[in-house]
């Protein structure tokens, strides 16, 4: 648990599909697709990935000029690309911004996330396609986004970090039970409760048996209690 981090350092589809990164089986078909994908970052993308921000959830009506106007206040911009549909030319709602200095990237990521631009709350993070090893985009079942309605939730990112998993290791006051199970004080308490419950059940069964014998004795004129 020492090297645990809420933010993924390496992208693994199986872990990204788990709320705490400990799943051993994919919970949706998209994870299977991502695990089998052989994705390579787009070699046509220019610029330094360590100086590039990913800006998502933009209003479809937001223009390059408006994005430039909002994000230029954090530092000098080297280049900006608003991603558009290749057929319609409409904005897809996300952009990539490369700054000239690292401090500008850090400042923009810190201060611009959840900023409202044209009535839309934007999401801002470092670019991951070229900087996060093993990255698989959402269209192939990966990514770190997704909506609850679709059942495709992804974790390990800024927007939805991993939850810290429960520590199942041996600790003080624990001992190994049969079959390799760990038992602690709560288990022992629960076990004693099961034992007392079992004894109560035995008493109840004996009482019911005696009552049946008593009823049968009354009907035959031979009461076993007398």
Q: Is 38 helix (H, G, I), strand (E, B) or coil?
A: coil
DSSP letter for 158, please.
Answer: S
Question: In terms of domains, do 200 and 139 share one?
Answer: no
pLDDT band at 63 (very low <50, low <70, confident <90, very high): very high
Q: What total of structural domains would you count in the chain?
A: 3
> What per-residue confidence (pLDDT) applies to 183?
38
| Nearest residue to 57 via CA among 82, 91, 93 | 93
Range of the domain at 203: 175-220
Question: In terms of domains, do 64 and 26 share one?
Answer: no
Please give the average per-residue pLDDT across 212-225, as a whole number. 56
Please give the sequence-ordered ranges of beta strands (E in DSSP) within 133-207, or none if there are none: 175-176, 182-183
208/52: higher pLDDT? 52
Residue 140 falls inside a structural domain:
yes
We report the CATH number of the domain holding residue 126 as: 3.30.70.330
> What per-residue confidence (pLDDT) applies to 166?
84
Residue 44 falls inside a structural domain:
no
Concatenating the DSSP letter of every residue in 45-84 gives: --S-GGGEEEEES--TT--HHHHHHHHGGGS-EEEEEEEE
Question: In terms of domains, do 78 and 99 share one?
Answer: yes
> What per-residue confidence (pLDDT) applies to 206?
65
Residue 225 falls inside a structural domain:
no
132/218: higher pLDDT? 132
Long-range (24+ apart) CB contacts under 8 A made by 68-71 are: 70/112, 70/115, 70/117, 71/97, 71/108, 71/112
Question: In terms of domains, do 104 and 82 share one?
Answer: yes
Question: In terms of domains, do 35 and 139 share one?
Answer: yes
Question: In terms of domains, do 17 and 124 share one?
Answer: no
> What per-residue confidence (pLDDT) applies to 162?
94
Q: Is the predicted pLDDT of residue 194 greater than 60, yes or no? A: no
Residue 94 falls inside a structural domain:
yes
Question: In terms of domains, do 109 and 90 share one?
Answer: yes
**CA contacts within 13 A on the Cβ side of 28:** 18
User: Do residues 106 and 89 lie in contact, with contact meaning Cβ atoms separated by under 8 Å?
Assistant: no
User: Do residues 74 and 107 lie in contact, with contact meaning Cβ atoms separated by under 8 Å?
Assistant: yes
> What per-residue confidence (pLDDT) applies to 215?
60
Residue 99 falls inside a structural domain:
yes
pLDDT band at 197 (very low <50, low <70, confident <90, very high): very low
- State the pTM of this model: 0.69
Least confident stretch, 83-92, 94-103, 151-160, 189-198: 189-198
Q: Other C-beta atoms within 10 Å of 12: how many?
A: 17
> What per-residue confidence (pLDDT) applies to 41?
82
CA 114 – CA 20 distance, rounded (Å): 24
Concatenating the DSSP letter of every residue in 68-130 gives: HHHHGGGS-EEEEEEEE-TTT--EEEEEEEEESSHHHHHHHHHHHTT-EETTEE-EEEE--TT
For 83-111, write each residue's pLDDT tens digit: 999 999 999 999 999 999 999 999 999 99
Average pLDDT, the chain: 81
Q: Is 211 helix (H, G, I), strand (E, B) or coil?
A: helix
For 42-55, write each residue's pLDDT tens digit: 777 888 999 999 99
């Amino acid at each position: 648990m020492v090297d645990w981090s809420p933010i993924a350092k390496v992208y693994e589809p199986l872990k990204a599909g788990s709320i705490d990164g400990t799943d051993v089986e994919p919970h949706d078909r998209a994870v299977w697709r991502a695990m089998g994908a052989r994705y390579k970052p787009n070699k046509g993308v220019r610029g330094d990935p360590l100086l590039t921000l990913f800006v998502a959830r933009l209003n479809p009506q937001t223009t390059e000029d408006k994005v430039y106007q909002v994000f230029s206040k954090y530092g000098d911009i080297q280049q900006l690309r608003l991603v558009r549909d290749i057929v319609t030319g409409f904005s897809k709602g996300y952009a990539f911004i490369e700054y000239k200095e690292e401090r500008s990237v850090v400042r923009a990521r810190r201060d611009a996330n959840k900023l409202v631009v044209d009535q839309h709350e934007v999401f801002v993070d470092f670019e991951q396609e070229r900087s996060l090893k093993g990255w698989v985009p959402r269209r192939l079942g990966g990514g770190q986004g997704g909506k609850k309605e679709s059942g495709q939730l992804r974790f390990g990112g800024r927007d939805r970090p991993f939850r810290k998993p429960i520590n199942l290791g041996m600790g003080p006051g624990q001992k190994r039970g049969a079959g390799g199970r760990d038992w602690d004080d709560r288990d022992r308490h629960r076990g004693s409760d099961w034992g007392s419950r079992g004894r109560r059940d035995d008493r109840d069964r004996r009482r019911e048996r005696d009552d049946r014998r008593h009823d049968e004795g009354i009907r035959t004129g031979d009461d076993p209690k007398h």
